[in-house]
Amino acid sequence: MTTPAPLLSVRDLTVEFRRDRSWLRALHGVSFDVFEGETVGVVGESGSGKSVTVQSLMGLLPARSSRLAAGSAVFAGRDILRLPRRELRRIRGKDIAMVFQDPMSSLNPVFTVGYQIAEAIREHNPGLSRETLRERTLAVLSRVELPHPAQAFSTFPFQFSGGMRQRAMIAMAIANAPRLLIADEPTTALDVTIQAQVMQVLQQARGTGSAMLLITHDMGLVAEATDRVIVMYAGRVIETGTTAEVFAAPRHPYTRGLLASRPKLAAAGGRLTPIPGSPPNIASLPGGCAFHPRCALHERHRDPICVDTVPALLPREGAGLVACHLTHLLGSAQREMETT
Ligand SMILES: Nc1ncnc2c1ncn2[C@@H]1O[C@H](COP(=O)(O)OP(=O)(O)OP(=O)(O)O)[C@@H](O)[C@H]1O
Ligand SMILES: [Mg+2]
| Residue 108 sits in the same domain as residue 211 | yes
Pair (140, 38) in one structural domain: yes
How far is ligand 1, taken at its centre, from the CA of residue 213, in Å?
17
- Check whether residue 207 and residue 279 sit in a common domain: no
Cα 27 to ligand 2 centre (Å): 13
In this structure, the answer to whether residues 35 and 61 fall within a common structural domain is yes
**For residue 113, what pLDDT is reported?**
95
Minimum CA distance residue for ligand 1 atom 24: 46
- Low-confidence residues in the chain, pLDDT < 50: 266, 332-340
Residue pair 151/96 in contact (Cβ under 8 Å)? The answer is: no
Q: Are 13 and 31 in contact (CB under 8 A)?
A: yes
Q: Strand 211-215 to strand 180-184: parallel, antiparallel, or no bridges (unpaired)? A: parallel
pLDDT tens for each residue of 11-47: 999 999 999 999 999 999 999 999 999 999 999 999 9
Tell me the H-state helices in the chain: 50-57, 85-91, 113-124, 130-143, 149-153, 162-174, 192-206, 219-225, 243-248, 253-260, 263-267, 296-301, 305-308, 330-339
pLDDT at 101: 86
- Would residue 1 count as lying in a domain? no
Say whether both 74 and 150 belong to one domain: yes
Structural domain includes residue 135? yes
Handedness of CA 301, 304, 305, 307 (dihedral sign): positive
d(CA 338, CA 109): 54
Q: What are 170-183's pLDDT values in tens digits?
A: 999 999 999 999 99
Question: Are 258 and 177 part of one and the same domain?
Answer: no
For residue 26 and ligand 1, the question of a CB distance below 6 A is answered with yes
Number of domains in the chain: 2
Q: List the one residue out of 243, 235, 228 whose CA is nearest residue 7.
A: 228
Q: How many residues does the chain have?
A: 340
* Rounded distance between C-alpha atoms, residue 10 and residue 30, angstroms: 7
d(CA 122, CA 172): 12
Q: Quick check: is 91 in a domain?
A: yes
Task: Give distance in angstroms: CA of 68 to centre of ligand 1.
Answer: 15
Which ligand lies nearest the alpha carbon of 48? 1
Same domain? 266 vs 135: no
Angle subtended by helix axes 192-206 and 162-174, to nearest 10: 20
- Determine the structural domain holding residue 33 and report its residue range: 8-226
**What letters, b where the CB count within 10 A reaches 16 and e where it falls short, cover 195-228?**
bebbbebbeebbeeebbbbbbbebbebbbebbbb
Q: 231 forms bridges with which residues in the sheet?
A: 43, 239
**What pTM did the predictor assign?**
0.93
Q: At what angle do helices 253-260 and 330-339 cross, to 10 degrees?
A: 40
Query: How many Å apart are CA 250 and CA 58, to the nearest integer?
Result: 30
For helices 113-124 and 130-143, angle between their N-to-C axes, nearest 10 degrees: 110
Domain identity same for 108 and 188: yes
Do 170 and 318 share a domain, yes or no?
no
What's the 138 CA to ligand 1 centre distance in angstroms? 36
Q: Is the CB of 64 under 6 A from ligand 1?
A: no
At which of 188, 206, 226 does a domain end? 226
Evaluate: CB of 57 within 6 angstroms of ligand 1.
no
CB 7 within 8 A of CB 76: yes
Q: What angle do CA 202, 159, 205 make, to 5 degrees?
A: 15
- At 284 the pLDDT is 94
